[in-house]
Amino acid sequence: MGKGIAFEFAKAGASVALHYSHSAEGAKKAVEEILADGGHAAAFGADFTRLDEVRGLAKDALAFLGGIDVLVNSAGITMNRLFELVTPEQFEVLYAVNVKAPFFLTQELLPALLLAQDAAIVNISSIHAFGGRREHSVYAGTRGAIVSFTRELAIELAPRGIRVNAIAPGPTEVENHHRIIPDLDVDAVGKLIPAGFLGQPQDIGKVAVFLASEAARYIVGQTIVVDGGTSAWFSLCDSFRDQGPGRFGKGYVPGI
């Protein structure tokens, strides 16, 4: 998803500093594609469980960019595990990467963002912040934390010239899904989504670019849900494609 976001910003003319954690391959390939299209990009590694590396990433990115007016906090990891089996170490890793790292990365970059005078921060949350799914107790908490962090930070920074918003993606096709589920049927999943297809990273990227742009200047502290209508559907309904089995309103609404 981060790669899709980086591509969309590069298309919009931005210089892009990409982050990777353990493997540089994907980020460096993305950089090569951006450079081939005439863009300006570089990739930097940092272990987000280590605060010194988080701060080092900020310094490296700033040195490359020469300044910054948009920060997208998109890094995030998940796991599925029954609540009673979650260990303190697992809890700490997810909160370190998903909450602590973006918090202190933003803090480290704040002076440079303030210099831009008209800057934007876009945090990536998830629809897990608004609905429960089995075995995601830790991840859901981290995504909810980002929504609250976004709202509060927006109020602090708006008077200082920085807009803060978030995106809550729904089902989105990424490479990791195919590694974990080799027989993933993208078309079948798409039929379960009101929009009729599985979201793509560029769908999230386009919204991120919008939120960072002048066109979104009056949007502050909001979390935009981008999920193809997934969370708009009543979960107790049999199907969003079928007509309901009952007829409410008979006897008190004309024409029913």
The yes-or-no verdict on residue 238 having pLDDT over 80 is: no
Is residue 25 domain-resident? no
Give the separation between CA 28 and CA 242, rounded to whole angstroms. Answer: 46
pTM of the model: 0.93
Per-residue pLDDT, 244: 65
Backbone torsion region of residue 17, taken as left when φ is above 0, otherwise alpha when ψ lies between -120 and 50, otherwise beta: beta
Helix axes 2-11, 25-36, angle to 10 degrees: 20
Residue 120 has pLDDT above 90, yes or no: yes
Indicate the average pLDDT of the chain.
93
Q: Is residue 39 part of a domain?
A: no
Average pLDDT for 218-242: 87
Confidence of residue 180 (pLDDT cuts 50, 70, 90): confident
At 218, list the tokens: 């009056």
Q: Is residue 76 part of a domain?
A: yes
Residue 157 confidence (pLDDT): 98
Please give the distance of CA 44 from its chain centroid, rounded to a whole number. 19
Provide the domain count of the chain: 1
The single-letter DSSP state of residue 156 is H
Of 20, 139, 218, 252, the active-site residue reads 139
E strand intervals along the chain: 16-20, 41-45, 70-73, 119-124, 162-169, 223-226
Q: Does residue 19 form part of some domain? A: no
3-state secondary structure of 185: coil
Q: Which residues is 120 bridged to in the sheet?
A: 70, 163
Identify the pLDDT of residue 241.
Answer: 72
Residue 111 lies in a domain: yes
Q: Is 252 a catalytic residue?
A: no
Question: CA 58, CA 82: separation in Å to the nearest integer?
Answer: 35
Instruction: Find the domain containing 86 and state its range.
Output: 52-232
Mean per-residue pLDDT, 5-24 = 96
Mean pLDDT in residue range 162-166: 98
Domain of 69, CATH number, reads 3.40.50.720
Inside any domain, residue 197: yes
Task: Report if residue 6 sits inside a domain.
Answer: no
Structure tokens at 39: 């863009």
d(CA 98, CA 74): 9
Alpha helix (H) ranges present in the chain?
2-11, 25-36, 51-65, 88-95, 101-116, 137-157, 175-180, 186-190, 201-212
Q: What is the pLDDT of residues 78-109, one digit of tens each?
A: 999 999 999 999 999 999 999 999 999 999 99
145 in a domain, yes or no? yes
CB 139 within 8 A of CB 83: no
